[in-house]
Amino acid sequence: MTNVRIGSIVLRVADLQRQTAFWSAALDYVPREGQSDDFVLLRPRNGVGPNLSLDLHHSELSVPPRLHLDLYTDDQMHEVSRLIALGASRVEWSKRPVDADYVILADPEGNRFCVIDTTR
């Protein structure tokens, strides 16, 4: 058995302050104390789950992305609306099945993520 786990997912961002505000509100995460000017580690307020680290480093978006986050919720419609109000945008994908249990969104910088309905 291994003694390794995912501790943090690192997302490269161009606007550290804006992305920190978005992801903190989106996930109810809080920044760890002692942040630098080019890196912020966000951790779950309740202490459960992996961290999300934001690294100030401009990079080109890849479509489709090689990696994306899946956010699980039992109130998908509410969460999609809330995330859009925070600055996310809906991403349309022609191959998405009509009965899909996910909605594709993008954060303010275009990084895609899915909101998964866990009640299905």
Domain boundaries, the chain: 1-59, 62-120
Residue 98 makes CB contacts below 8 A (sequence gap 6+) with none
Per-residue model confidence as pLDDT tens digits over 15-70 = 999 999 999 999 999 999 887 999 999 999 999 999 999 999 988 888 888 899 99
CB atoms within 10 A of CB 81: 12
Which residue in 38, 60, 113 sits closest to 83, CA to CA? Answer: 113
Topology match between the domains 1-59 and 62-120: no
Predicted confidence at residue 58, as pLDDT, reads 85
Per-residue model confidence as pLDDT tens digits over 63-118 = 888 899 999 999 999 999 999 999 999 999 999 999 999 999 999 999 999 999 99
Rounded to a whole number of angstroms, the distance between the first and last alpha carbons of the chain is 32
Which residue in 43, 41, 23 sits closest to 86, CA to CA? Answer: 23
Predicted confidence at residue 59, as pLDDT, reads 85
In the CATH scheme, what is the homologous superfamily, with its name and number, of domain 62-120?
A: 2,3-Dihydroxybiphenyl 1,2-Dioxygenase, domain 1 (3.10.180.10)
Query: What is the CATH T-level fold of the domain 1-59, as seen in this structure?
Result: 3.30.720
State the average pLDDT for the chain. Answer: 94
